[in-house]
């Protein structure tokens, strides 16, 4: 498949803009396979190339979607720096900044929980 691997260069899934446009935001496979618990399936800050995230966020405002899990920007940045192919865009203009999700979730990674607790100090 054609595309880049900004989060993990050692796996097959790639980020592919044409697929993302055709599939309304489901073409960000490298991100999705590295962070499968993130509801956004991509790091993009706008809904232009990730329409499904817009639908989920709209349903959350109606109370129909809840407990949306997301990865902190710091964890994304560290993962991309350590394993990525160097193609990750550098942008702080993101609508999904400061994503914190609920306590007590059995799927939460220790580093994510530590990050949440650190923010509260």
Label residue 30 by pLDDT band (50, 70, 90).
confident
Domain ranges of the chain: 17-120
Residue 4's beta-bridge partner residues? 15
DSSP 3-state assignment of 95? Answer: coil
Kindly report, residue by residue over 88-115, the tens digit of the pLDDT: 865 455 545 555 555 566 677 788 778 7
pTM tops 0.85: no
> What are the structure tokens assigned to 62, written together?
């109606």
> What are the structure tokens assigned to 71, written together?
């990865």
Which are the contacts of 74, defined by CB distance < 8 A and separation ≥ 6?
Answer: 115
Using the structure block, give the residue that is written with the tokens 């990865």: 71
């Amino acid at each position: 498949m054609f595309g880049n691997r900004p989060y993990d260069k050692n796996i097959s899934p790639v980020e592919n803009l044409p697929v993302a446009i055709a599939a309304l935001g489901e073409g960000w496979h490298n991100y999705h396979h590295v962070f499968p618990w993130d509801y956004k399936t991509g790091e993009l800050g706008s809904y232009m190339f990730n329409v499904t995230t817009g639908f989920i966020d709209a349903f959350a405002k109606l109370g129909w979607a809840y407990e949306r899990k997301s990865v902190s920007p710091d964890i994304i940045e560290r993962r991309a720096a350590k394993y990525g192919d160097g193609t990750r865009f550098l942008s702080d203009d993101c609508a999904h900044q400061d994503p914190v999700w609920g306590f007590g979730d059995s799927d939460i990674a220790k580093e994510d929980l530590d990050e949440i607790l650190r923010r509260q100090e």
